[in-house]
Amino acid sequence: MSEQADHIAVESDCQHGDDSHRHGYIGAKDDYLKRLRRIEGQARGLQRMVDEDAYCIDILTQVSAMTKALHAVSLGLLNDHMTHCVLAAAGEGDDAARVKIDEAMAAIARLAR
C-alpha cells in the first residue's frame, strides 16, 4: 500500500471521540515522551534556580531554552497532524479537509500568540 493510501486508510484514526483512533504522532510517541520528560526536568531545574536565588539572566536563559523545546514539540505535533490527519481528510473530500485545516490554523494561531 502506498504512503498516501496508508493515510487515507487511517482517515477515521484522527476523528475526535473515537476511542480506537490513532493520531499522527503515534509513530514518534516515545520520542515525544522523551522530549516532554526533558522539558519537565527543565521546569524542575527552573524551580530549583528560583529557590536557590539564581541570577535573573541565568533563569531567563533557561526559560528561553525551555520555551524553544516546547515550540519544537509543538511544531512536530503540527507537522504530524498535517501529514497524517489533514492528508487523510483530504482523501475524504473538501468538507473533511476543511475541518482539519481549520483545526490546524486554530492551533497555529494559538502557538503564534
* pTM, to two decimals: 0.70
Residue position matching grid coordinates 524551580: 47
pLDDT, tens digit, for every residue of 19-31? 445 666 766 788 9
State the DSSP string of 7-73.
HHHTGGGG-TT-TT---GGGGGHHHHHHHHHHHHHHHHHHHHHHHTT--HHHHHHHHHHHHHHHHHH
pLDDT, tens digit, for every residue of 7-18? 333 344 555 544
Query: Would 15 be classed as within a structural domain?
Result: no
Domain of 73 in residue numbering reads as 3-8+23-112
Q: What is the domain-level CATH number for residue 81?
A: 1.20.58.1000
More confident site: 18 or 91: 91
Residue position matching grid coordinates 476523528: 15
Q: What is the pLDDT of residue 29?
A: 87
Query: Would 90 be classed as within a structural domain?
Result: yes
Give the percent of the chain with pLDDT over 70.
76
Q: Which of 48-52, 54-58, 85-89, 108-112 has the lowest mean pLDDT?
A: 85-89
Query: Would 30 be classed as within a structural domain?
Result: yes
More confident site: 91 or 15: 91
Q: Quick check: 2 pLDDT over 50?
A: no
The domain tally of the chain equals 1
pLDDT, tens digit, for every residue of 43-57? 999 999 999 999 999
Q: Quick check: 1 pLDDT over 70?
A: no
